[in-house]
Each structure stands twice: as structure tokens, then as C-alpha cells.
Amino acid sequence: MNGSGPGVLSAAAQGAQGIRSSTVHVIAATVGIARLREDVAAYLATDAEYRLREIIQEAGKFMRHSKRRRLKTSDIAAALRLRNLEPLYGFSSNESAPFVGVTLPGESSLGGSNTVYFVGDEEVDLRDILDGELPRVPLETTLALHWLAIEGIQPRIPQNPADVSSTARQSLTYILRDTVHDEPGRNASDTPDTDTGMVSFRPKVRHVVSRELQLYYELAIEALTRSAQETDETLRNACLASIARDPGLQQLVPYFVAFLFHHVSNHCRDLPQLQVSMKLARALLENRYVGLEPYLHQLMPSIITCIVGRYLCRTADEDHWTLRENAASLLADVHKMYGGTYENLLPRIAETLRLALVGEDKALTTQYGAIVAFQELGPALVEAHIVPLAPNLLERWERKIEHELGEAPIKSAELELATSPKWSELRRVYAALAKALGVGAETLEAKYGSKYAHFVIPS
């Protein structure tokens, strides 16, 4: 082809022009251009043909380099990609399509042949289909679930790929499944659990924590565990704020959770330390950069202990009620965040709290924490657990009142119930029950049969 532009075509090429201005008019009409000047249409037709010839010429080069004499759609696609144009899409086949020609009557608008070529459909004899064998019934679509990993450990089941060879497997060490690391960087315990027999095979590896994170952990624990006289409250609050916002603490999460577990167990009657523990748990929960899912089984006992523990302080005048309320609010937030992922989380929490209410020997402080926790978890759980137990709770409490008061006059009994520090716990549980049920003293007496509600619940 001579020339280097769309307007330069040889006489032979112009005579064999395949794109006419009438074609451009039709295409323009399909995109909403009703009136197109003839000279513009003629120029567009010439330009389109030039671009088409250019693509075909490039495709011919690919054909010749492939040592073929037949042009394929892959050659056209390669030429389009060479020109930074979108390639052709669709299905391709190694077999040539059997085109069938049909001559139409009349005169062609292009001045050429009236023969139209198309791919004919294969004719199928219905008798062959009826006489043939039925195809096999496809398998029903099913879903199969299996554990990819449990607490970071891949179980050895057929669905999971084998991670180690049999030779390497012999060198693995028995390690307790619920090993808790006391300090960052410490080796896991290699003592076998001979009582339960539930052991897992793990490579004996060291959990590597950077020196900076180890120093961060040590300073944070030191700031949190010192007494109020030794630690500035501003420093403690800054430490908790850092834990709640720092994006690089994921490696320290198991150590913080293990610290919470042991600290609550070892300081179950040290109210300031329990308050710090719940603040630390709250900070970890608020940090959106860390994931607590693998450690909920260690975190939940610490929170529930601070809700239903019998004694959470050394003296009766300490405000352990606020600790129970804060821990109940934290428990509700844990459920809001992870309850959708773990469907059995809420039933297990509810069963633990219910047992704290139904036990005859449970302290009033324990019952108070359970009632407050049910209230924080929502009205549905109050309706399911508190409402059925309310008459039994009131009966149990009032038996205690009658046993303590004996034959005391009504006026003196009313004054003692309303003011005496001896009955402060009873006043707390009555008020918590009324608040959870959303009723007052009159409703407790009328609906649930209480005889002393108007004495112990302030009006």
C-alpha cells in the first residue's frame, strides 16, 4: 500500500473501496446522529478503511512470522494489541467454521455480489436423540466444611495439605494445647498433657518478638500494675490510650491476654488491679488494628469473673459495683463485635450468667452482676432469662429478709431496710432487677408478688 495517511490511496485501492459513505450514515444514525454531511461521511469512510487495512497488514506480518498461509483471528488480535487497541473477544476454535453461501435477489448496495455467507446449524435427527442413551445424572451440589486452622494450628485431616514429611514429623515435640506464654519471646512449654491426652504436634519454634515490642510490653505492664501512689494516673491513661490506638501491637496481643488471665486470677480481691485489668481489656477491644478472635477463650473468663465474682474487694465499703457494671458493658461490646462470627458465644455467656442466678448459694453480689450483664446484653435476654426467674429471686431474697428481721415491728423493719448498711447489697439487687425489668416497686409487688420492694427501692 502506497502513501502514509488515510487520504492517500492508490487508484486500485480506491476502486476496491469496501466502506462507503452510506455505511457511515447508517452507523451515525445508530448513535443518534441523524444528519451527517456527505463530505464528513466520505472522509470517515476513507479513514476507517485506512485503519482497517493497516490492522490487516500488521496481522499479515504475524501470519508470515508464524509460517502460515491462512490469517487467523489471533493474528488480528495481536495486531490490535500492537496498536494499543482493545483485542477481539469471544470463543475461538482450532477448526474452520463451515460457511454456507446464499445469493440474495436484487442489486447489492455495495456494487458487488449479493452472496451472503453464514455458519450453518447442524441438523439433528430426533430419532437419534430418542434412541440414544440418557446422559448421566449430574451430582447434586453440596457444601462441605472443615477446619483450615484451629488457634493457628492446621489440623492433620485429609482435606488439608500435609505440611511436613513423616521424617520431620518424628522430631516434633508434644506441647500443651492451651499453653500460655508468660513473657514475650519465651519458649513454649514442652510438657505433655497426660491427663486429657489432647495434645497437638507443633514444631518447637521460638516466638520472635522484636526488642522494641518487648520493651513496650514491659513498660506498659509496669505502668498498669503499679499502685496509684507509685504511678501517675496520667501515665496510666496515656498507656491505655496507646494500647487502644497503636497499629503495631498484634504480636503482643497473646501476651496481654495471658497477662489479663493471670492477673485477674491472682488479684481477685484487689479492686484497683481488677479495674486496671478491665481497662486494659477495653483498650484491646477498641484497637481496630488487632484481632482478638483467637484469644476470646482466654479473655472471656477474666471479664465474667469481674461480673459474677463473689468477692472483688477486700472491704465491703469499696465500690466493686462499678467494676461489675463496667465489666458487663465490656461483655456486651465483645458480643456486639464477635457474636456474629461465633454463634455459640451468646448462648455460652447466657448459660454462665443464668447459673449465677439460679444457685441457692450464690451471693447477692454475684446475682447483681448477672442481672446487670443480662440488661447490657439486651431486652431479648432479659425476657428469656430474667423474667422467668424474677418470682423465684424475689422469694429467695424475701425469705432472707424475714429470717433476719424476725418479729421486728413493721416501722422499724422499713427503716432498717431503707437505711441500714447491712441491707445495702439487697437494695442493690432489688434496684438492678427493677431496672432490668423496666418496672417500679409497685409492679414488683403487684406482678411478681414482692412484699418488701417498696421498702428497699427508693421512690
Q: What confidence tens digit (pLDDT) does each residue in 326-364 have?
A: 999 999 999 999 988 888 899 999 999 999 998 888 899
Give me the phi and psi of 18, to 5 degrees please: -100, -20
| Residue 152 confidence (pLDDT) above 90 | no
Residue in this structure with the C-alpha cell 509496669, named with its chain if needed: 222
Q: Which fold has domain 1-90?
A: Histone, subunit A (1.10.20)
Q: Look at residue 441 in the predicted model and tell me its pLDDT.
A: 77
Q: What is the mean pLDDT of the chain?
A: 80
Q: For position 322, what pLDDT does the model report?
A: 93
pLDDT tens for 235-272 read: 889 999 999 999 989 889 999 999 999 999 999 889 99
The separation between the first and the last C-alpha atoms of the chain, rounded to the nearest angstrom, is 103
Answer positive or negative: Cα dihedral of 71, 77, 83, 86.
Answer: positive
Lookup: cell for 109: 448496495
398-420 pLDDT per residue, tens? 888 777 766 554 545 555 565 56
pLDDT digits (tens, 9 = 90+) for 190-204: 444 444 445 555 555
pLDDT of residue 106: 67
Of the candidates 100, 95, 93, the one whose C-alpha atom is nearest the C-alpha of residue 119 is: 100
- Which helix (H) or strand (E) segment is 74 a member of? helix 73-82
Identity of the highest mean pLDDT range in 6-15, 84-93, 230-239, 281-290: 281-290
Task: Give the residue, 258 or 175, on which the prediction is more confident.
Answer: 258
Between residues 13 and 317, the one the model is more confident about: 317
pLDDT digits (tens, 9 = 90+) for 277-329: 999 999 999 999 998 988 999 999 999 999 999 889 888 788 899 999 999 99
Contacts of 128 (CB under 8 A, 6+ apart): none
At residue 166's C-alpha, the angle toward residues 161 and 169, to 5°, is 90
Confirm whether pTM is higher than 0.75: no
| SS3 of residue 142 by DSSP | coil
Helices of type H across 406-423: 410-419
The pLDDT of residue 256 = 94
Torsions phi, psi for 436 (to 5 deg) = -65, -40
Pick 216-377's CATH classification: 2.40.50.140, 3.40.50.20, 1.10.287.110, 1.25.40.770.
Answer: 1.25.40.770
Q: What are phi and psi of 332, to 5 degrees?
A: -65, -35
Query: When comparing pLDDT for 115 and 338, which is higher?
Result: 338
Task: Identify the residue whose cell numbers are 511436613.
Answer: 164
- Quick one: average pLDDT of 208-231? 84
In the prediction, which pLDDT does 205 show? 53
Kindly state the cell numbers that stand for 275. 479495674
What is the Cα–Cα distance from 84 to 155, expressed in whole angstroms?
50
C-alpha 450/C-alpha 459 separation (Å) is 15
Asked if 117 and 103 touch (Cβ cutoff 8 Å), the reply is no
pLDDT value of position 442: 79
Three-class DSSP category at 427: helix
Which residue blocks in 233-319 are alpha helix, DSSP H?
233-245, 253-266, 271-286, 296-308
Q: Please report, for the chain, the start and end positions of each structural domain, with discontinuous segments joined by +.
A: 1-90, 172-208, 216-377, 382-459
